[in-house]
Amino acid sequence: MVEYFRDVNEQDLLLFIDNIFCFVQARSKVSALLGRVPSTMGYKPTLSTEMVTLQERIASTKEGSITSIQAVYVPTDDLTDPALATTFTHLDATIVLSRGLAAKGTYPVVDPLDSTSTMLQPRIVGVHNV
């Protein structure tokens, strides 16, 4: 639907995806129902391909653009989970919220060491900010 507004109506859009991890879980459940054998940590062997297919649709064209903000659930706070690693490779920036900081009463609970941005480059933000 978002692609329609971008391509046909030539609009610039902001897309919110609440928990992209649900997409991964749903695809795994469908595979299990179809009797397909999971691979790494219970995920489909085609996880990366399916994520690429979805994420590449969220793009700018000459007709318009789609900017996406995606919430990502991190099971057991494991940032190395294969589904998360696959997801993070497609994001320009990540803001990681820390349960540990929240438990200490430190707000905002943004963990600057785990948070990343491809825009954090000396030529964009200056040498002193990297």
Supply the DSSP string of 89-124, one letter for each residue: TT-SEE--B-HHHHHTT-SS-B-TTT-EETT--HHH
Question: What is the structure's pLDDT at 76?
Answer: 82
Question: What is the structure's pLDDT at 65?
Answer: 94
Positions of the chain with pLDDT lower than 70, given as ranges: 37-42, 44, 130
- Beta-bridged to residue 13, according to DSSP, are 66
Each domain of the chain, given as residue ranges in start order, spans 1-78, 92-125
Separation of CA 58 from chain center? 11
Question: What is the structure's pLDDT at 38?
Answer: 63
Question: What is the structure's pLDDT at 40?
Answer: 60
Residues 79-102: tens digit of each pLDDT: 888 888 888 888 899 999 999 999
